[in-house]
Amino acid sequence: MFAIYHKRKRRTGNNSRDMRLKELEGYLQQVRSFEEPKVLLEQYPTSAHIAAHLLYTMDSTYGDVEDKVVCDFGVGGGILSIGAIMLGAGMCIGCDIDDDALEIARANADEFEIDNLELLRVDVGTRHAGHLPPLPIGSVDTVIMNPPFGTKKNAGIDMNFLEQASRICTGAIYSLNKTSTRAFIQRKCRSFGLEMEVVAELRYDIPQMYKFHKKKSVDVEVDFLRFTPTADDS
Amino acid sequence: MRMKLLTHNLLRSRVKGAAKGYPLAIHATTVETKEADFNPTFIVRMLDRIQWPVVVQAASQVGVSEDKVPQTVPNDPESDQEFLKAAHHLLLEIEVIEGELECPDTGRAFPIKRGIPNMLLNEDEV
């Protein structure tokens, strides 16, 4: 399947303009996810359907993917990073605290013959306020993340992700967060010098992955948020 | 998809007590060279974000012979194909697979395992 993507890329010299949404989703369906998700890290995978829509919007509506340096916080199996590269990101830096997730991301990138995804083992959910990620301020154009929602004894971790992102990103930060926390995030992001826009509201279907999930799957209402530096801060 | 010198050029040590934590010294045990698509526009854009002297230093640390390493960035890199190709090779085609990165201020070592630098810090190092 992916061989086709590469041929197209070589022929046109540009893999973004021709890449249709359905096509992207088709490729992303082949990205493997966690084999044994870890409860404490809230490793809910992003579905190919959601990933494709988010990335497509980021690229076609906002121009935040093609030729950009994109950083993926909580890269997991790498679906968002791989999709961003398919849409023409110049380079993607995938960060995760979990070695097993990074191994899967690397295997996926190898499978798709992607060579511009760089992986780093980093704690972007650090509780230490004022701590910086190991990348320079202003070194990336776009951050994409599907952070833990902070419901497993790790309340606030999604805001730690956002704060860390705000320190290294010059452009837009995209994030999936529970709709129920929208008003809080709207206020909180100002302290990071960001303003927020709700790009889409979606239902995130979390399949039964852990023993404590009693239902087959749970629909969670999730916002797809776009943060940009506040005007007077930039 | 293993640590390239471009990534190395960006990485900082954030360990407690590190003034700058930059540049990290590379102690490589396994280095590979892998061809990558040449994208001159991307290279030119990245030149603003990287420190060229650190590229020169890193190239020497991973054993690239000096004649392949432009010592400075030309005044007009956009139109200097020879420089761009050399920069492309150094930044994107050299991959460190195994080894470690060393914080210049504290000596803290960050292992690189199967191409992935481990920048995690212990609680008492933050």
Tell me the pLDDT tens digit for each residue of A110-169. 999 998 999 999 999 887 877 889 999 999 999 999 988 877 667 788 999 999 999 999
- For chain A, say whether B114 makes contact (Cβ under 8 Å): yes
Query: With bands split at pLDDT 50, 70 and 90, how would you rate the model's confidence at A7?
Result: very low
Chain A residue with Cα closest to B16: A131
Could B116 and A102 be called an inter-chain contact, meaning their C-beta atoms sit closer than 8 Å? yes
pLDDT at position A3 is 42
Cβ-nearest to A90 among B13, B39, B120: B39
- For chain A, say whether B122 makes contact (Cβ under 8 Å): no
Cβ-nearest to A67 among B1, B13, B41: B41
Query: Considering the entire predicted model, what is its pTM?
Result: 0.90
Whether the per-residue pLDDT at B104 is higher than 60: the answer is yes
On the 0-12 / 13-18 / 19+ scale of CB atoms within 10 A, A133 is buried
Cβ-nearest to B42 among A90, A102, A106: A90
Q: Residue A145 to residues A50, A80, A99, A225, B117: CA-CA distances in angstroms?
A: 13, 8, 18, 10, 20
Q: Which CATH number fits domain A21-129+136-229: 3.40.50.150, 3.40.50.1370, 3.40.50.10890, 3.30.110.60?
A: 3.40.50.150
Whether the per-residue pLDDT at A39 is higher than 90: the answer is no
Higher-scoring residue by pLDDT: B75, A32? B75
Could B1 and A115 be called an inter-chain contact, meaning their C-beta atoms sit closer than 8 Å? yes
Could A118 and B4 be called an inter-chain contact, meaning their C-beta atoms sit closer than 8 Å? yes
Contact B71, B89 (CB under 8 A): no
pLDDT at position A18 is 58
Helix (H, G, I), strand (E, B) or coil at A212: coil
pLDDT at position B117 is 97
């761009």: which residue's tokens?
B84
Average pLDDT over residues B114-124: 94
Could B11 and A131 be called an inter-chain contact, meaning their C-beta atoms sit closer than 8 Å? no
**Domain spans of chain A, in order of start:** 21-129+136-229
Chain A residue with Cα closest to B37: A115
Chain B environment of A92 (Cβ under 8 Å): none
Average pLDDT over residues B54-80: 96
Helix axes of A48-60 and A79-86: crossing angle, nearest 10 degrees: 40
Q: Kindly provide the ipTM of the predicted complex, given to two decimals.
A: 0.94
Could A90 and B115 be called an inter-chain contact, meaning their C-beta atoms sit closer than 8 Å? no
pLDDT at position A130 is 75
Query: With bands split at pLDDT 50, 70 and 90, how would you rate the model's confidence at B66?
Result: very high
pLDDT at position A205 is 72
Q: Any residues with CB less than 8 A from the CB of A204 and at least 6 apart, and which? A: A44, A50, A176, A219, A220, A221, A222
Average pLDDT value over all residues in chain B: 95
Q: Identify the DSSP state of A169.
A: B
Higher-scoring residue by pLDDT: A32, A15? A32
Could A106 and B116 be called an inter-chain contact, meaning their C-beta atoms sit closer than 8 Å? yes
Contact A136, B10 (CB under 8 A): yes
Whether the per-residue pLDDT at A234 is higher than 50: the answer is no
Whether the per-residue pLDDT at A4 is higher than 60: the answer is no
- Stretch among A5-9, A52-56, A139-143, B100-104 having the lowest mean pLDDT: A5-9
Instruction: Please say whether the dihedral angle defined by the alpha carbons of residues A192, A193, A196 and A202, taken in this order, is positive or negative.
Output: negative
Cβ-nearest to B116 among A110, A119, A128: A119
pLDDT at position A41 is 74
Spatial distance between the Cα atoms of B69 and B77, rounded to a whole number of angstroms: 14
Q: Each residue of A171-229: pLDDT tens digit?
A: 999 999 999 999 999 999 999 999 999 999 998 776 655 555 566 677 889 999 999 99
Whether the per-residue pLDDT at A91 is higher than 80: the answer is yes
Rounded to a whole number of angstroms, the distance from the CA of B69 to the nearest CA of chain A is 22
**Domain spans of chain B, in order of start:** 3-114
Whether the per-residue pLDDT at A56 is higher than 70: the answer is yes
Q: Identify the DSSP state of A13.
A: S
pLDDT at position A189 is 97
Average pLDDT value over all residues in chain A: 86
pLDDT at position A218 is 74
Average pLDDT over residues B35-58: 95
Q: Residue A149 to residues A177, B8, B107: CA-CA distances in angstroms?
A: 7, 31, 36
Fold of the B3-114 domain: N-terminal domain of TfIIb (2.20.25)
